[in-house]
Amino acid sequence: MRNEVCQLLRDALASLVEEGVLPDSLEVDVQVERSRGPEHGDFACNLAMVLAKRAGLKPRDLAEQLCKALPASDLLSRAEVAGPGFINLFLSPGSYQSLPGEIRSRGAAYGTSDVGAGEKVMVEFVSANPTGPLHVGHGRGAAYGDALARVLRAAGYDAISEYYINDAGRQMDILALSVWLRYL
């Protein structure tokens, strides 16, 4: 949804450029963030404050013009100006109704991204000591390590998980020696 909201703001910018309100030389990376609370909408944007000085306008005035220039969309119910020039964007109830269909159509690919861009990452986690008592923490460590590797893969990283058996140490040396002496 964030990408669609950003596109609506880009369209509003283009509209203001066409109308001559903004110069066409303005280049900006449109970004929206989750708002701090429901009273501030679903998304918030500081685009007007970023562009105001370069556009020669007051941030709040530019924010109002951006809100008016937003194209009609089923995604947003309203946009309002807050504070010195923030734009609070409220999603329409219908925008959430399309989400289950999107999840169903994307299947296992839903929620994945390419933010990792194939960068290699190794997640290393240690198993339980085979000579010591087992406890729930050993299973937790394995589950955390495996889950982290899966999340990284879903984010586009080339994640390799290494699960080491903790058998190198004095305890294993003593165990091996005792077995060897027992069966001599």
pLDDT tens digit sequence for 65-75: 999 999 999 99
Buried b (16+ CB within 10 A) or exposed e, 56-78: ebebbebbbbbbebbeeeebbee
Kindly report, as residue ranges, where domains of CATH 3.30.1360.70 are found in the chain: 1-94
* pLDDT given at position 112: 92
pTM across the whole model: 0.62
How many CA atoms does the CB half-sphere of 161 hold within 13 Å? 17
pLDDT tens digit sequence for 145-172: 899 999 999 999 999 988 776 666 777 7
Class of the domain covering 1-94: alpha beta
